[in-house]
């Protein structure tokens, strides 16, 4: 009986120790993928009636560029964090399209917020040597996106243009910067 008690206590202490370990300060790759998929699925294909509203916006790929290292610099990873903050700001508007799947939209907003909240610690490790340049590119890009929304009075088609741009942005991150994301072990 004493051996069984010691075994259970040891197991409990081991689990308590593992569960109390600090989480790494990284964005979770699976959540970025889910965010992308929810955004894609909430509205379907780009509507034909919105083709005339479609505008080109120069994507700031340099904000995510690495310096040849297998891992992104800390400011490169922070660029992904800043991107999610900008997405959260855009989707904080009250004029979101009712044509979108509202449950997927709500899940999208919740997951973006969760990623931001769980990754605030990234801001303490910013490599300032190139962070400002990256941030400037992102601010210009998201400023242009916000301007399109405002110029088109937050219309459904303006939101579809925004959704198309953000899908491209998230896809770019998943394809070119997945090394900077934390991925669950796959067995």
Closest listed residue to residue 173, CA positions, set 56, 58, 33: 33
Any domain includes 1: no
Q: What pTM did the predictor assign?
A: 0.79
Structure-token match 């008690």, residue found = 5
Asked if residue 168 is part of any domain, the answer here is: yes
**Inside any domain, residue 141:** yes
In 3D, which of 80, 75, 105, 73 has the Cα closest to residue 170?
Answer: 80
| DSSP-based three-state secondary structure for 99 | coil
Q: Give me the CATH number covering residue 98.
A: 1.20.1250.10
| DSSP secondary structure letters along 145-163 | HHHHHHHTTT-HHHHHHHH
Taking only the tens place, the pLDDT of each residue in 86-137 is 999 999 977 899 999 999 999 999 999 999 998 887 666 555 667 778 888 9
117 in a domain, yes or no? Answer: yes
Count of structural domains, the chain: 1
Query: For 62-76, what is the mean pLDDT?
Result: 61
Alpha carbon distance 142, 169 (integer Å): 11
Please tell me what DSSP assigns to residue 1. Answer: -
Q: Using 50, 70 and 90 to split pLDDT, how confident is the model at 187? A: very low
For 140, the domain range is 26-180
Inside any domain, residue 11: no
**Residue 67 covered by a domain:** yes
């Amino acid at each position: 009986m004493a051996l069984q008690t010691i075994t259970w206590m040891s197991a409990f202490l081991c689990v308590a120790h593992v569960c109390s370990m600090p989480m790494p300060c990284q964005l979770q790759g699976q959540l970025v993928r889910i965010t992308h998929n929810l955004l894609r699925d909430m509205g379907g294909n780009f509507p034909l009636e919105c083709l005339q509203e479609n505008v080109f916006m120069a994507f700031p790929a340099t904000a995510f560029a690495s310096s040849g290292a297998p891992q992104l610099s800390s400011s490169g990873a922070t660029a992904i964090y800043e991107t999610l903050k900008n997405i959260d700001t855009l989707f904080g508007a009250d004029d979101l399209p009712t044509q979108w799947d509202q449950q997927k939209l709500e899940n999208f907003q919740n997951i973006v917020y969760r990623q931001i909240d769980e990754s605030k610690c990234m801001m303490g490790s910013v490599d300032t040597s190139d962070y400002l340049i990256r941030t400037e590119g992102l601010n210009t890009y998201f400023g242009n996106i916000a301007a399109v929304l405002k110029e088109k009075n937050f219309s459904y088609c303006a939101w579809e243009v925004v959704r198309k741009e953000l899908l491209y942005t998230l896809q770019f991150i998943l394809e070119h910067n997945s090394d900077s994301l934390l991925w669950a072990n796959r067995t």
